[in-house]
């Protein structure tokens, strides 16, 4: 029987971590790193550490094949959301992203997957036709619109989005200057309740099972994928965060969508 791939997950207790955990545990040998610990995983594979402290990360990286970095300051798992304080986002999203990538490189990890965010492009929603697509008002849907893909100009309108964009470019640097593969997963509208809410959720929702599928495709992607960025979205009628690249490169097949 083939040994399971050894996967280290940071931030497993967060909203996205809890969403992904059932699929990850079924497929991989999971280790977890967090400040408070994680229940339900053998103690020898639970590491209490802070991604803001690089020295604390090395024990967790030993023997790991792939790191999935979900730990973040701000976002869905923060009580203040994208308005979290700069000190927190600096520690977790900038220093922390560097520490995870550097420790992974020094430890011989083959791939790091960074949880990015739709916040790197939220500025489009201030403009038409995207403003109408995310509106909570009952207004006509535009006939056509240009999709926002991985090569579109970033438009963050929060410091959270800026820090996630920094993480993407940091990943690009490590992929270009080391043997590691780095994949950025732009996680879109995904809440603890597996439903698409009003407004943005109608356009950019990612169901739990679609996010699970895409994440495992990133983990299992061939080594030839040295660096890439993928939008994590379901096939929604108002979709403008383009998931076609993930379909083409990874064989992603969303099962859900808002009609």
Across the chain, which has 259 residues, the per-10-residue mean pLDDT values are: 88 95 97 94 96 97 98 73 84 97 98 97 97 94 95 96 97 98 96 92 96 98 98 97 98 96
Give the closest residue to 163 by CA, choosing from 102, 120, 125.
120
CB distance 29 to 5 below 8 Å: yes
Q: Which tens digit of pLDDT belongs to each residue from 6-36?
A: 999 999 999 999 999 999 999 999 999 999 9
- CATH number of the domain at 6-250, out of 3.20.20.140, 3.30.1360.70, 3.90.230.10, 3.40.50.720? 3.40.50.720
**Can the peptide bond before residue 129 be classed as cis, meaning omega within 30 degrees of 0?**
yes
């Amino acid at each position: 029987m083939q040994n399971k791939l050894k996967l280290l997950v940071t931030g497993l207790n967060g909203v996205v971590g809890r969403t992904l955990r059932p699929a990850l545990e079924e497929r991989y040998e999971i280790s977890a790193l967090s400040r408070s610990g994680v229940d339900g995983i053998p103690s020898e594979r639970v590491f209490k550490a802070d991604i803001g402290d690089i020295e604390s990360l090395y024990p967790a990286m030993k023997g790991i094949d792939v790191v999935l970095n979900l730990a973040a300051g701000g976002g869905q798992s923060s009580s203040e959301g994208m308005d979290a304080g700069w000190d927190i986002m600096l520690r977790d999203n900038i220093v922390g992203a560097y520490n995870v990538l550097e420790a992974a490189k020094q430890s011989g990890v083959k791939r790091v997957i960074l949880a990015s965010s739709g916040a790197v492009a939220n500025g489009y929603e201030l403009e038409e036709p995207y403003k109408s697509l995310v509106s909570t008002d009952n207004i006509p849907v535009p006939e056509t619109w240009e999709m926002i893909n991985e090569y579109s100009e970033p438009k963050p309108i929060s410091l959270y989005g800026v820090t996630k964009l920094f993480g993407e470019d940091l990943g690009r640097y490590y992929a270009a200057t080391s043997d590691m593969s780095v994949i950025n997963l732009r996680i879109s509208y995904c809440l603890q309740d597996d439903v698409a809410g009003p407004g943005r959720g109608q356009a950019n929702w990612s169901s739990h099972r679609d996010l699970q599928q895409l994440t495992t495709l990133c983990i299992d992607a061939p080594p030839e994928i040295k660096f890439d960025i993928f939008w994590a979205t379901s096939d929604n009628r108002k979709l403008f965060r383009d998931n076609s690249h993930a379909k083409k490169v990874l064989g992603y097949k969303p099962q859900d969508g808002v009609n």
